[in-house]
Amino acid sequence: MRTLNGLRADERFALDLMAAIRADAETVCSPDAVELVSVTIDVTGADVVGEPAFKARVDRKTRTVLFTGGSASCGDTVVMTATAVYRIVSA
């Protein structure tokens, strides 16, 4: 089923998860900027029921690269996970 903006619900969910991860990456690396290098999204297949909650984490940070990720949950059920690599660009 497509939403008003043409995306399927799971596609919108993935974009929201990536937005949460990027916001956390920007906070961790501030005042430097971050540029996305790669991202992997895994969908668990669990039903999305209720309001989603997004949780970001930093796995490792070097001077030039940030390894990060996060998860999206509905209640106690994880419905999607993502890992991402960002290049840190000095301000």
Pick the CATH number of 9-89 from 3.30.930.10, 3.10.129.10, 1.20.5.440, 1.10.10.10: 3.10.129.10
Statement: the pTM of the whole predicted model exceeds 0.85 = yes
Supply the pLDDT for residue 2: 52
pLDDT tens readout for residues 21-30: 999 999 999 9
Q: Which two tokens stand for residue 40?
A: 């992997």
**How distant, in Å, are the alpha carbons of 1, 8, 14, 74 from that of 25?**
31, 26, 16, 23
H-type alpha helices, the chain: 9-29
CB 23 within 8 A of CB 15: no
pLDDT tens readout for residues 46-82: 777 777 899 999 999 999 999 999 999 988 889 899 9
Give the rounded distance of the alpha carbon of 19 from its chain centre: 6
Q: Domain-by-domain residue ranges, the chain?
A: 9-89
- Residue 3, pLDDT > 60, answer no
